[in-house]
């Protein structure tokens, strides 16, 4: 049975091959699905607001715990991070020491190797989540097929980067995870989601979009009012998709009804559920 990645408000998620991306209880928010139907790679952004103009963003802490069994890789990745202004608060090649370091330092990002002994990477990430259910985790992996990538993401990694661990991959992945819960603005979410999909193997020329949501949840208030956020979200998302040359192939938007959506990565179908029933796009 395919498992599900739930994308919360202001967040995004990426899936591949099989599984489901879901956004629950959409009101004025819009679920933006970008996907490559051939490579079977998809992403969902749960957009809350149309643009970030005039917004000052708080810089996230850049403290990192690095847990990698290979000392050469550990040194290389650590040097990349330090060179980009990250503070590496601890390095280890062993799971138990990783947990001790996490408890002591509470880093903003944990980078974990799939080869971390003495138990599997999933147990290492599960143990981190046992200490802190909101722990942000990036996984280091050898090159893998897309179905294995999906497995990593479904089982708890926020991001996966594969060998060779270039400076671009390491820094881009770390920045992405640190800012993962701040992509509530359409003008920040859509370019970043596109970038993540391409880095994971999607062809930028094949990307297409489906969107759902953007309801006017207060029908007694006129659309021109500041609370007409749903309409503004839809308009700006469509404009951003056009600017990125990403075709919008289906939508279920507007009106004054809440929606829950689930995108099946394998079939590229979007199930939209409302109080009145279901629709497949």
pLDDT for 118: 61
pTM for the model: 0.80
Evaluate whether 33 touches 269 at the Cβ level (below 8 Å): no
Rounded CA-CA distance 146/149 in Å is 5
Q: DSSP letters of 178-241?
A: HTGGG--BHHHHHHHHHHHHHHTT--TTT-EEEEEE---S-TTS-TTSTT-HHHHHHHHHHHHH
Rounded CA-CA distance 192/195 in Å is 5
pLDDT for 81: 97
How is residue 119 annotated by DSSP?
S
pLDDT for 156: 75
How is residue 49 annotated by DSSP?
B
Identify which of 41, 3, 25, 146 has the alpha carbon closest to the alpha carbon of residue 33: 41
Rounded CA-CA distance 25/21 in Å is 14
Q: Does domain 4-52+183-280 have CATH number 3.30.1330.200?
A: yes
Three-state DSSP class for residue 50: coil
Identify which of 281, 266, 195, 269 has the alpha carbon closest to the alpha carbon of residue 38: 266
Evaluate whether 267 touches 228 at the Cβ level (below 8 Å): no
State the alpha helices, DSSP H only, in 132-185.
Answer: 146-154, 167-178
Q: Dihedrals φ, ψ of 41, to 5°? A: -125, 130
Helix/strand/coil percent split, the chain, to 5:
30, 30, 40
Helix (H) or strand (E) holding 129: helix 121-131
Domain locations in the chain? 4-52+183-280, 63-178
CATH level 3 topology of 63-178: Rossmann fold (3.40.50)
pLDDT string in tens for the chain (281-residue length) = 457 888 988 888 887 777 789 999 999 999 999 999 999 999 999 999 998 887 776 767 899 999 999 999 999 999 999 999 999 999 999 888 999 999 999 999 999 998 887 667 778 888 888 888 888 999 999 988 777 777 787 777 889 999 999 999 999 999 989 887 778 899 999 999 998 898 888 999 999 999 999 998 665 544 444 458 899 999 999 999 999 999 999 999 998 899 999 999 989 999 999 998 999 99
pLDDT for 137: 93
Identify which of 122, 280, 265, 281 has the alpha carbon closest to the alpha carbon of residue 197: 265
pLDDT for 279: 94
Assign residue 38 a region (left: φ > 0; alpha: ψ between -120 and 50; beta: otherwise): alpha
Rounded CA-CA distance 8/47 in Å is 9
């Amino acid at each position: 049975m395919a498992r599900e990645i739930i994308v919360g408000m202001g967040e995004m998620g990426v899936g591949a091959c099989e599984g489901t991306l879901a956004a629950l209880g959409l009101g004025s928010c819009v679920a933006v699905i970008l996907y490559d139907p051939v490579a079977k790679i998809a992403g969902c952004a749960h957009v809350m607001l149309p643009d970030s103009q005039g917004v000052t963003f708080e810089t996230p802490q850049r403290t990192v715990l690095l847990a990698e069994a290979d000392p050469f890789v550990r040194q290389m990745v650590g040097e990349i991070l330090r060179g980009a202004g990250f503070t590496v608060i601890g390095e280890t090649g062993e799971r138990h020491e990783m947990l001790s370091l996490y408890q002591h330092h509470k880093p903003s990002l944990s980078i974990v190797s799939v080869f971390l002994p003495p138990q599997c990477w999933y147990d290492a990430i599960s143990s981190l989540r046992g200490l802190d259910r909101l722990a942000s985790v990036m996984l280091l992996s050898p090159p893998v097929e897309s179905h294995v990538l999906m497995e990593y993401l479904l089982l708890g990694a926020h991001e996966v980067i594969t060998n060779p661990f270039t400076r671009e991959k390491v820094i881009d992945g770390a920045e992405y995870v640190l800012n993962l819960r701040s992509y509530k603005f359409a003008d920040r979410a859509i370019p970043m989601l596109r970038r993540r999909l391409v880095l994971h193997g999607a062809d930028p020329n094949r990307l297409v979009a489906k969107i759902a949501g953007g309801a006017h949840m207060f029908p007694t208030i006129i659309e021109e009012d500041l609370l007409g956020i749903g309409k503004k979200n839809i308009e700006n998302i469509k404009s951003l998709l056009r600017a990125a040359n990403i075709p919008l192939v289906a939508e279920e938007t507007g009106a004054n009804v809440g929606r829950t959506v689930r995108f099946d990565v394998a079939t590229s179908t979007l199930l939209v559920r409302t109080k009145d029933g279901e629709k497949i796009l």
